[in-house]
Amino acid sequence: MGSLLRTEAQERAALIDVTGYDLALDLDQGEETFGSDVTIGFTCREPGASTFLDVDAESVTSITLNGEPVDPASVQDRRVNLAGLATDNTVRVVAQMRYRQDGEGLHRAVDPEDGKHYVYGMAFLDAGPSIFACFDQPDLKAPYDVRVRAPQDWVVAGNGAVERTGPGQWTLATTPPLATYFVTVCAGPYAVETDEHDGIPLGIYVRASLGDRLREQRDDIFEVTKQSFDYYHQLFGIRYPWGKYDQFFVPEFNAGAMENPGCVTLRDTYVFRGAHTRTQLFTRANTIAHEMAHMWFGDLVTMQWWDDLWLNESFAEYMAHRTTAEATRYDEAWVDFGITRKTWGYGVDRSPSTHPIAGAPAPDAESALTNFDGISYAKGASALRQLAAYVGDEAFLSGVRKHLSDHRFGNATMTDFLGAVEDASGRSLVDWTQGWLRSSGVDDIRLDVEQRDGTITRAELVVTPPQDDPVTRSHVLDLAAVEGGVATGTVRLHAASARTEVPELVGTPRAALLLPNSSDLTWATTVLDEQSLAAVQDALVAAPDPLIRLSIWSALLGGADTGRIDPRRVVQIFGVCWPHETVSSLSDVLGGLVRAFYPYRLVPQHDSAAALATIRDAGRRKLELVDGASPAALAAARLVAATTSDAELLARWAADEGRPTAASGDKDFGWAVVRRSASMGHLDGAQIDRVASADSSMSGHLSELRARAALPTESAKAWAWNQLYGESKLSNYEGLAVAEGFFDGYGENDATELLRGYADRFFAELPEVPQRYGDMAAEKFVIAAFPHRVIEPAVADAARTAIASPDNTAGVRRSLTDALDRLDRALLAHQRFGATASTPVATEG
């Protein structure tokens, strides 16, 4: 039996209502399995009918329905049939479940630093039945009573408030109605920090080995948590409904975080073990605000079926950036959204795998996961931002409050939400919905002007929809005339047709730069005329408004991504302007994007060494401009470390000699240096051993794997390949670390032929990846392990063959499609701009 079909879920929901779960978990049975004993009460509208229960057990001890035994052997394909139902029913399933290492179900991780074990539950999307037998679909919500037995030195928490009732015995308070995919239990020797705000008990948990770091960072985490609570209480008009609020920073987590009511789980890399930048702090704050938004939108009101999963994530994405911008010290939140989240989303929306924000078919639960991407998050949040601008912010918020109030502790659909906004605003959203939610692709926007003697005589904003989905989409946006970096005039437009006149510009001097979408308010590719394009470099250095700078960079990145702008030009502009960028998110993320996607990818091979040197030199110049102890110096040093080929510099930095003060003593920075040295062939496995012996942490272990996989030798690649696909049993994080290092450094050493030989082997091994690493981790693995540095048509052909193969899962095919699109864009750039080398190769000295 495959994934739960929507039709099956509808039939089951029409037949039964679940009245409650009573769950006992025994986590004190060893390292491989745990006990699960669940009793479920439910009613049936048609006595005598049958339904099914979802069970994914290692072994089933017993099943009883209304006191009568059901043969445990009847469990097939994760289901057991329940026949002859009464009006009121009780089913009990006692089973042994297996701990998982793929970040799903009940995941058990071992901290190599101290050997301690940690457990956390991740029931999303369909992993709940591997923890307890259940009716696993989002619209069969019910209250939960949970008891846990665990080793006596562990702490235990979950959705409800917890009470220790005896040695190793824990009882959790009855919850309000929850969807199965929100149920979690976290257990282990976690370090904990507690606080209270507005009557809400607060807890933060992390591995014991990170306890000192948590104590240093607790105040910042609690501050953002409290600020977010205050903002949401004011905004929604509904108090937080889940009692206490725990945040567990857990190891080997696939996502950024998961919004389990009352017990949020987050990846533990958000508790920084060393030096960190403001961008990293913002990302953590934004994630905290995102998950808290879900406590209302997603948890209090839950989607009816997985095809509305986008609305949960779009709403939380939008609210998180709004909250951090307005309620915390991170007033640059919308700048970060533009360069980080929207850049990700644009890449997806320009690719063959694009899909409408809403209305994408989800005939089964698994297919919904394939659309869990930059469209669901970044484009959906942009659409909601547009909706607020379209109907007015107060009408938008009134609709949100009505939606939350009307469907409290229940389920709802997109139609319910939009209906509430229509009622509040008095405006029809039929056309808006069709344009924004039920169509796909990115519109191009440009300003068409005529001028005489330097004065504009005609100005129109031109909107061109994508050829594959040419729907009319309205845009609320700003347009700025920029001279000397300063916006000398800004116009707010509502562009509801292909051409919109801009009379405010007529009769004004033609500015050096005419910039549509100057506040980055809408979702579109900005196409600059040649006169404006010629002015962007000066504007990026001089513009005081970070949204102006963001919008320029968005136009440049989008132009290179679509083959309109030579990627070498983007690198040249980066080299001049990046050292002067002062907003950390824009600086840090942009540095990572240009480094990752330009040399040896978008930039042709014969110009890539020069491009890499330009990026490196930008990092060096920034180090000269900023305080060496500042987070900006750390970001610049990271860029230099990732791009330099200077073996002597890398050796000094690896030995913690001559580093900028901000990176001094930082082990993670040291590992970045080691990884770069390894990929360049400047060190060997024995030298990596020596570094690893001084860092036994989980982070150190993963960094060691990346560095070993990056070594450009036949033996190192053979070892890494065997780790990924041989007999080794890697966790989801370990597999991802090896995959990330495998193709590192291609084109910068003599490993070209060696790596090319592994490209075909990568595609042949793909069907095994989900079985090894789990469905969620597999999609990340495919992107990381894709031979992205081998920019050749043969690799693209092999990817297309793999995408067409039924042997690969839908999630793997989706990740392949996105990776192939990146490769195709690189091939297009090489075709258009790669005929001759255009810049000399810089040298280090």
Give CA–CA dist 829/564, Å, rounded: 9
CA dihedral of 341, 343, 345, 349, whole degrees rounded to 10:
170
> Is the distance from CB of 148 to CB of 36 less than 8 angstroms?
no
The neighbouring-strand residues paired with 164 are 170
- Cα 521 from chain centroid (whole Å): 21
**Which of 729, 817, 801, 804 is closest to 760 using CA atoms?**
801
Work out the angle between the directed axes of helices 278-294 and 211-236 (0-180°, nearest 10).
50
Give CA–CA dist 410/300, Å, rounded: 7
The token duo for 103 is 């970040």
Indicate the DSSP class of residue 841. Answer: P
Using CA atoms, how far residue 8 sits from 2, 4, 371, 698, in Å, is 12, 7, 21, 42
Nearest 5 degrees, angle CA 117-CA 118-CA 120?
155
Which alpha helices (DSSP H) does 727-842 contain, by range?
A: 732-742, 752-765, 769-773, 775-785, 793-804, 810-833
> Is the distance from CB of 8 to CB of 26 less than 8 angstroms?
no
Q: Specify the amino acid at residue 748.
A: E
Half-sphere CA count of 147, side-chain side, radius 13 A: 11
The neighbouring-strand residues paired with 23 are 38, 146
The token duo for 767 is 């069907």
**Which of 160, 183, 164 is closest to 172 using CA atoms?**
160
Give CA–CA dist 3/10, Å, rounded: 14
**Residue found under tokens 């297009």:** 828
Pairing of strands 263-267, 245-250: parallel
The token duo for 440 is 């796909």
SS3 state of residue 415: helix
Phi, psi of 193 (to 5 degrees): -125, 140
Q: Specify the amino acid at residue 23.
A: L
CA dihedral of 383, 389, 392, 394, whole degrees rounded to 10:
70
How many other CB atoms sit within 10 Å of the CB of residue 592?
Answer: 17
SS3 state of residue 382: helix
Q: For the chain, report the end-to-end CA distance as a whole number of angstroms.
A: 63
Using CA atoms, how far residue 352 sits from 556, 593, 795, in Å, is 22, 21, 17
> Is the distance from CB of 466 to CB of 442 less than 8 angstroms?
yes
Q: Beta-strand (E) ranges in 175-328?
A: 185-188, 191-197, 200-206, 245-250, 257-258, 263-267, 302-303
**Which of 648, 634, 701, 718 is closest to 677 using CA atoms?**
648
Give CA–CA dist 763/795, Å, rounded: 9
- Cα 744 from chain centroid (whole Å): 22
The token duo for 461 is 């904003």
The token duo for 178 is 């929850």
Work out the angle between the directed axes of helices 546-561 and 567-577 (0-180°, nearest 10).
160
How many other CB atoms sit within 10 Å of the CB of residue 730?
Answer: 18
Residues identified as active-site? 291
Give CA–CA dist 480/491, Å, rounded: 6
Half-sphere CA count of 677, side-chain side, radius 13 A: 24
> Is the distance from CB of 513 to CB of 539 less than 8 angstroms?
yes
